[in-house]
Amino acid sequence: MLAQILIGGIATGCIYAIVGLGFTLVYRSMRMVNFAQGQVFMAGTFLGLVIANRFELPAVPLIIIVGAVAFLIGLIVEKLVFRRLYHNHEVFVVGSIGLGIVLTNAIRIMFPEPVPFPKVFGTGIVTVGGAFFQAAYLWVVGLTVILVVGLHALFSYTKAGRALRAVASDIEMAGAVGVDVRKAIAQTFGLSFAVAAIAGVLIGPLYFVSFDMGDMIGLKAFSAAVFGGINSIPGTILGGVIIGLLENLAGGYISSAYKDLVAFIILLLTLVVRPNGLLGRATPVKV
């Protein structure tokens, strides 16, 4: 029982972590929260669904292609929409919520009913110490680790990644030393779209996919990002896994009805007690 709960919790936590990364990437560069991130994740799942149905690819190429297409879409959406919303955070909040409503309802028209996602990770069952779970869970955890290592490599060893980090730490100085700030911001949105879509492909085969799947997961992933530290990538991963674990423990031992509360109580407590989150830096304005 416990092993089952822990493994399920880590797998869910990985999903929160990856979706949460989308919030973190944008927040680090822009100090803005993209409230459409949950819907971007949902739309990314459907992008994966369409590509997977058309081309019948194995898991790894599918993820790479979906990530690449989502990255391009992110660049375009940044240019068309987000770029005009940078005035202040209220404008960005309401504008991005509007984008989220558009995405949800556009997908709702195309896919009104929940649809099964192709089982790209196979249908095997794995046994570990008396716990049974789908092999897809292992894929989720393994690919999360690979994705995080990949992001770390990108930010540490490539020129483009260093440019993104420079913009994240000080946008004006980055511009002054010759970073193309506009391009870096566009790429940040591209990356946030790509990780959201990859998270969609990871979670798709575990459940049915539907147009409203992004709402709750998006808000929980957001809680995970704030809890771990919304400007810290390792913090977001840690926050996601902890919330996934606590939620599954609460669902298993306390009450399955209230397991959704865990993430939001943690979010509220984090903001009141330690707004920087577990591993975050910088202080918000406190009076």
Partner 1 sequence: MKTAMTFIGIGALFLIPAVAPAYLVHIATFIAIYTLPVIGLGFLTGFTNRISLAQGAIFGVGAYVTALLTTQYGWSPVAAFLPSIIGAVLVATVLGAPAMRLAGLYFVMATIAIHQIVWIVLMNWIDLTNGPQGVRSIPPLAIGSLKLETPHTYYYAAFGAALVSFFLARRIVSSRLGLQLRALSEDELASAMSGVPVYRAKVVALALSAAWAGAGGFLYAHYMRFVHPEMFTLEPSILFLTMAMFGGYRSLIGMVIATAVLESATEFLRPFGEFRMIVYGLILMLGMMFFPKGVLTLGPVWHRWFGRSRSANA
Question: Which residues are near partner 1 by CB under 8 A?
Answer: 31-33, 81, 84-85, 87-95, 97-106, 108-109, 215, 219, 222-223, 226, 257-258, 260-261, 263-265, 267-268, 271-272, 275, 284-287
Residue 10 CB, shortest distance to partner 1, in Å, is 23
Distance in Å, CB of 254 to partner 1, minimum:
12
Q: Which is nearer to partner 1, 7 or 263 (CB)?
A: 263
Tell me how far, at minimum, the Cβ of 227 lies from partner 1, in Å: 11
Choose between 109 and 125: whose C-beta lies nearer to partner 1: 109
**Residue type (1 letter), 75:** L
Give least dist CB 234 to partner 1, A: 20
DSSP per residue, 183-214: HHHHHHHHHHHHHHHHHHHHHGGGSEE-TTHH
| Least separation in angstroms between CB 126 and partner 1 | 32
Q: Which is nearer to partner 1, 199 or 266 (CB)?
A: 266
Q: What are phi and psi of 111, to 5 degrees?
A: -130, 80
Alpha carbon 136 to its chain's center? 18
Cα distances from 93 to residues 32, 65, 139, in angstroms, run: 8, 30, 34
In the complex with partner 1, which residue's Cβ is closer, 32 or 69? 32
Which residue, 33 or 136, is less far from partner 1 as judged by CB? 33
Strand residues in 68-176 grouped as ranges (E) = 115-116, 125-128, 131-134
Q: Phi/psi at 131 (nearest 5 deg)? A: -100, 135
Which amino acid is located at 173 in the chain? M
